[in-house]
Amino acid sequence: MVLWVNRTNVGPNAGEDTLGRNASNVIVVDDPDNDTYFVAVELAELDYRSGTPVHDGDADEITAGFSVPER
């Protein structure tokens, strides 16, 4: 599974700012009986790749998506 999460309100003429995900701040839990995946993110341990911190109270606009490659 490929997961991407981007901050989209970065200002004029700026690209999206990707979240710096890793094993300490993101966990994926699968539920094979129901063909379902759950993604949990620990915001306290997360920054954007630009170095900007993520805070619960900020007015960040975030877009998330995923794809599952065929085998």
pLDDT 10s digits, 42-68: 877 778 888 877 765 567 788 888 888
Q: Number of folded domains in the chain?
A: 1
Q: Higher pLDDT residue, 33 or 42?
A: 33
Domain that residue 30 falls in: 2-67
State what percent of residues in the chain have pLDDT above 70: 93
How confident is the model at residue 58, as a pLDDT?
Answer: 62
3-class secondary structure, 60: coil
Residue type, 17: D
Burial 17-44 (b: 16+ CB within 10 A, else e): bebbeeeebbeeeeeeeeeeeeeebeee
